[in-house]
């Protein structure tokens, strides 16, 4: 019903806008009429209300296409990264009654019914137990698991029809990624195990903090963990330069550790997943629902690709790209060469002796333009393996966050350890 209402509202707005243009003697253009700032606000508002798959697709679109969407539209979609409509108190109580029993409130000294965060899969509440534990409780929206597949299909059709996706952006891998990621994020037992592993790896780290899980409050629809203080990392965009540089450098190092040391990566680089503890300066890592295990042969291929890029070895880069499925026989020869050119362009940020200035560089936009040029042609059926795409998304998301911080980082020094 919401999908239909949204589609009707977009169409009505487009018709009204077309009539206004026609009366002024202008020739209406359907793409411009559909994807106006007003319609973008409608889309963002409805996706936030629908939560689940609808909101997740909006999040991915805002990150994957943020550099090519008009700024006013990108800013509106940006709210989907961490802002869903929360459950009403009565619905929240019904969910917790089913998970913990009707007397659950007796286990707490305080329980804040107002969520401190509301995202695509669930919302988070702060509570203090009778034995003094300060908890963050991630509570899943009812019905999310059963609605994922149908919601993905519906919202993909709506985004294509409305023109929210820029021309040339291939939605198919985006939709499949959203579907897979949602099913994984809805599995709170899986997320709890990932949380335990990352907490153990980073225990005692001066750079990062990971919440501990509290199994006695965990159920299939509730994930209980430490409540850790922190401010959203993007709010430090005006902090002193050395602070911003240090944050970005640590995040880049973390990506490399995940890839080359642990073979396991948190693949959702949503900005809302990073807080900064003002008292310690540590980066608080949140949300381990999208953790993926990386096959050893793929990790080896990424290492070979990195080494080839540092040495400017095009043949070696081609072999590594083939090994990881980044390019394949379905790619026309010119596309294979374009992909290798793009890789070499990206490696320039690492080969440069000077710190890379994320805030002033147009590298991401140049690479996006080349990718969209290939996407418009649509004469290839090759899609890289999902593991490769997820690593690319994590790298790209970390780049965007470093750009938001306007950080300057000596990438060559960090990468040298792994090359």
Active-site amino acid positions:
268
Q: Which three-class secondary structure state does DSSP give residue 341? A: helix
Please give the C-alpha separations between residue 28 and each of 22, 24, 164, in angstroms, as whole numbers.
7, 10, 18
Bridge partners of 150? none
Write the DSSP symbol of residue 285: E
- Those residues whose C-beta lies under 8 Å from the C-beta of residue 235, and which sit 6 or more positions away, are none
Phi, psi angles (nearest 5°) of residue 404: -60, -35
Q: Which three-class secondary structure state does DSSP give residue 199? A: helix
**Nearest by Cα to 345 from 364, 320, 325:** 364
Please give the C-alpha separations between residue 31 and each of 35, 46, 154, 200, in angstroms, as whole numbers.
6, 20, 20, 50
| DSSP-derived pairing of the beta strands 264-266 and 122-129 | unpaired
As a whole number of Å, the end-to-end CA separation of the chain is 53
Share of the chain residues as helix, strand and coil, in percent rounded to the nearest 5: 60, 10, 30
Q: How many CA atoms lie within 13 A of 106 on its CB side?
A: 4
**Nearest by Cα to 284 from 349, 240, 233:** 233
Write the DSSP symbol of residue 326: S
Q: DSSP string of 108-145?
A: EEEE-SS-SEE-SSEEEEEEEETT--EEEEEEEPTTHH
Pair 28, 21: CB distance under 8 Å? yes
Pair 380, 335: CB distance under 8 Å? yes
Helices (H), 281-331: 296-310, 314-323
């Amino acid at each position: 019903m919401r999908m239909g209402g949204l589609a009707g509202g977009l169409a009505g707005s487009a018709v009204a806008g077309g009539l206004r243009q026609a009366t002024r003697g202008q020739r209406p253009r359907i793409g411009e009429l559909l994807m106006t700032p007003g319609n973008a606000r409608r889309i963002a508002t409805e996706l936030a209300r629908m939560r689940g798959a609808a909101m997740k697709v909006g999040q991915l679109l805002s990150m994957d296409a943020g550099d090519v969407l008009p700024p006013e539209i990108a800013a509106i979609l940006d709210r989907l990264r961490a802002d869903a409509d929360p459950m009403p108190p009565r619905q929240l109580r019904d969910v917790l009654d089913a998970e913990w029993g009707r007397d659950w409130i007796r286990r707490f000294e305080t329980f804040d019914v107002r969520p401190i965060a509301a995202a695509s899969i669930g919302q988070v509440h702060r509570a203090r137990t009778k034995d003094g534990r300060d908890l963050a409780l991630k509570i899943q929206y009812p019905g999310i698991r059963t609605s994922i597949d149908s919601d993905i299909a519906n919202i993909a059709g709506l985004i294509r029809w409305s023109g929210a996706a820029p021309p040339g952006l291939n939605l198919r891998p985006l939709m499949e990624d959203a579907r897979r990621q949602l099913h994984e994020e809805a599995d709170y037992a899986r997320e709890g195990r990932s949380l335990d592993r990352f907490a153990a790896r980073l225990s005692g780290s001066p750079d990062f903090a990971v919440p501990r899980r509290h199994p006695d409050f965990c159920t299939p629809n509730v994930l209980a963990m430490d409540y850790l203080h922190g401010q959203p990392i993007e709010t430090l965009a005006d902090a002193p330069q050395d602070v911003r540089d240090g944050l970005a450098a640590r995040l880049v190092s973390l990506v490399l550790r995940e890839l080359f040391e642990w073979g396991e990566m948190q693949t959702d680089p949503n900005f809302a997943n990073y807080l900064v503890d003002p008292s310690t300066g540590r980066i608080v890592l949140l949300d381990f629902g999208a953790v993926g295990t990386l096959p050893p042969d793929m990790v080896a291929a990424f290492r070979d690709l990195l080494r080839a890029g540092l040495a400017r070895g095009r043949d070696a880069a081609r072999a590594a790209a083939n090994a990881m499925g980044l390019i394949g026989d379905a790619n026309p020869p010119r596309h294979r060469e374009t992909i290798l050119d793009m890789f070499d362009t990206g490696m320039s940020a690492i080969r440069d002796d000077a710190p890379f200035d994320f805030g002033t560089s147009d590298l991401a936009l140049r690479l996006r333009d080349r990718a969209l040029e290939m996407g418009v042609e649509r004469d290839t059926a090759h899609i890289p393996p999902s593991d490769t795409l997820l690593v690319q998304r994590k790298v790209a998301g970390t780049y965007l966050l470093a750009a938001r911080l306007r950080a300057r980082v000596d990438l060559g020094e960090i990468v040298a350890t792994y090359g």
